[in-house]
């Protein structure tokens, strides 16, 4: 009996479907995040100022990445539902127009980025000592905006069809390239000069370019997802409206995360460069700790969208709440692992700086406690977008970040310093996870009741 190339999201057992889809995505994300951590390691060898400077760029780079995430969310939700309804011609039209929109947005953002490097990072709190490193890094990073946004739209459409293996392998390959180039371009090798933080950005740019070429070279993309027929403006407009209905709130929701991170970075900057550097390293460790959650936030929505299109809402309910329970258990295990390996992690990034090491130890003891609850919040937002309720997802994001997360962390910092901010993050995630669970449960029950009423 031959193994199917990709899972059947409408008929295969739910656990098997989500497992088969999540593992390849997780592999790609693990590779990319590990090499982001490698970036931090090599940049940290240059000095605390260089590491702090690159940490200041994180909210800005993540904002642009969030735009690509939002566009991908909209594309995935629309394509997934159309596949559930078996509207295959519309799938090609929507995906192609999503790529066109991505190209236009990326070129505009690259130009805006170059013009605002100085005033933007001054506003974020970077001082004159850090500004040269920030300019070196971002002047190269902005060149990759096209290669961040455009391939994500196509990858999201591929995942919406259930094909996560090939995009995952392409992500792994680009991550490996980034990891190989990092030390060569940062410190120099043979005829290649040492470029410092600029070399780290160039390694990332080259990896993204290869990722883009790899995605668009896939036969499944050219055959099943892209239309080579000249479009009419009416068709493009319809596609942009359908995708934008979900993508625009999702973009705003995604951007809120780096905006809140920028606000927290500004608070942390009041405690010195060591605090900023420890927060940057801790945030990267936190991202790696949430690998499975991030992977599921990409694979659960296609499952939800296709089954929504096929009107299989009981199946949606089982998949969503089973995922919630899983991430709570899994992240508890991850927290225990972080405590076990705390010493080597701290030594890798802060062996020569006692204050940096102390800050990082506190981070590892405290913040990961709330990651399971944060996972529920992330998956709840993904679910609401997949259910074509993007405004609900946006309201959840606003509530989490600006009613709970930033205010409670700021209060903790004011009362107890940097460590109080870490405790505030746990409290905020605890409160928001309960609200997110209840919101998804209420909406799914409403959809099921409506469907039962229509059928009778």
Structure tokens at 439: 């919101």
In whole angstroms, what is the distance from residue 215 CA to residue 167 CA?
7
Within 10 A of 417 (CB to CB), how many other CB atoms are there? 13
* Cβ contact 161:232 at 8 Å: no
Structure tokens at 202: 């160039």
pLDDT reported for residue 33: 67
The DSSP code sequence of 98-130 is HHHHHHHHHHHHHHHHHHTHHHHHHHTT--TTT
- Which residues are 192's β-sheet partners? 189
pLDDT reported for residue 456: 64
In whole angstroms, what is the distance from residue 307 CA to residue 314 CA?
9
In whole angstroms, what is the distance from residue 380 CA to residue 319 CA?
12
pLDDT reported for residue 1: 31
Name 376's Cβ contacts closer than 8 Å, sequence gap at least 6: 324, 327, 328, 433, 436, 437
In whole angstroms, what is the distance from residue 266 CA to residue 283 CA?
15
In whole angstroms, what is the distance from residue 207 CA to residue 200 CA?
11
Which of helix, strand or coil describes residue 219? helix
pLDDT per residue rounded down to tens, the chain (456 residues): 334 557 888 888 899 989 888 888 887 777 766 766 777 788 888 887 888 888 788 778 877 877 888 888 888 888 888 888 888 888 888 888 898 999 898 889 888 988 888 888 888 777 788 888 888 899 899 988 888 888 888 888 888 888 888 777 887 888 888 888 988 998 988 888 888 888 888 998 998 898 888 888 888 787 888 878 887 888 888 888 988 888 889 888 877 877 787 788 888 888 877 777 778 788 778 877 888 898 898 889 999 998 988 888 999 999 999 999 999 999 999 999 988 888 888 887 776 777 788 878 888 888 888 889 999 999 999 999 999 899 999 999 999 989 998 999 999 989 988 888 888 989 999 999 999 999 999 999 988 888 777 766
Name 45's Cβ contacts closer than 8 Å, sequence gap at least 6: none
pLDDT reported for residue 250: 86
In whole angstroms, what is the distance from residue 428 CA to residue 281 CA?
21
pLDDT reported for residue 437: 96
């Amino acid at each position: 009996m031959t193994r199917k190339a990709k899972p059947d999201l409408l008929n295969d057992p739910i656990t098997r479907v989500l497992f088969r889809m999540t593992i390849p995505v997780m592999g790609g994300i693990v590779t990319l995040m590990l090499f982001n951590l490698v970036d931090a390691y090599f940049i940290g060898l240059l000095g605390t100022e260089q590491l702090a400077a690159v940490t200041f760029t994180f909210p800005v780079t993540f904002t642009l990445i969030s735009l690509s995430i939002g566009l991908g969310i909209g594309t995935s939700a629309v394509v997934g539902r159309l596949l559930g309804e078996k509207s295959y011609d519309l799938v090609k039209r929507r995906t192609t127009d999503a790529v066109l929109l991505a190209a236009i947005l990326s070129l505009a953002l690259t130009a805006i980025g170059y013009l605002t490097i100085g005033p933007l990072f001054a506003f974020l709190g970077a001082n004159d000592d850090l500004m040269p490193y920030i300019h070196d890094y971002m002047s190269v990073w902005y060149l990759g905006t096209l290669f961040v946004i455009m391939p994500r739209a196509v990858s999201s459409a591929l995942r919406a069809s259930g094909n996560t293996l090939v995009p995952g392998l392409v992500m792994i390959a680009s991550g490996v390239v980034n990891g190989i180039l990092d030390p060569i371009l940062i410190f120099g090798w043979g005829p290649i000069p040492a470029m410092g933080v600029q070399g780290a950005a160039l390694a990332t740019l080259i990896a993204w370019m290869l990722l883009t070429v790899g995605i668009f070279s896939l036969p499944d993309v050219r055959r099943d997802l892209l239309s080579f027929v000249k479009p009419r403006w009416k068709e493009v407009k319809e596609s942009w409206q359908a995708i934008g209905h979900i993508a625009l709130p999702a973009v705003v929701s995604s951007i809120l995360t780096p905006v809140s991170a920028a606000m927290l970075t500004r608070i942390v900057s009041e405690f010195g460069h060591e605090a900023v550097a420890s927060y940057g390293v801790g945030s990267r460790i936190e991202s790696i700790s949430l690998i499975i959650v991030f992977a599921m936030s990409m694979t659960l929505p296609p499952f939800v969208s296709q089954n929504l299109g096929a009107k299989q809402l009981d199946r949606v309910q089982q998949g969503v709440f089973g995922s919630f329970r899983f991430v709570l258990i899994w992240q508890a295990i991850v927290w225990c692992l972080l405590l076990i390996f705390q010493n080597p992690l701290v030594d890798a990034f802060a062996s020569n700086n006692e204050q940096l090491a102390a800050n990082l130890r506190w981070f590892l003891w405290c913040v990961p406690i709330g990651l399971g609850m944060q996972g529920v919040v992330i998956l709840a937002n993904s679910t609401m977008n997949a259910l074509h309720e993007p405004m609900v997802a946006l309201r959840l994001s606003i509530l989490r970040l600006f009613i709970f997360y930033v205010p409670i962390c700021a209060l903790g910092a004011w009362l107890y310093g940097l460590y109080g901010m870490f405790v505030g993050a746990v409290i905020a995630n605890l409160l928001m996870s309960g609200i997110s669970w209840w919101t998804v449960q209420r909406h799914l029950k409403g959809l099921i009741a409506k469907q039962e009423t229509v059928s009778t």
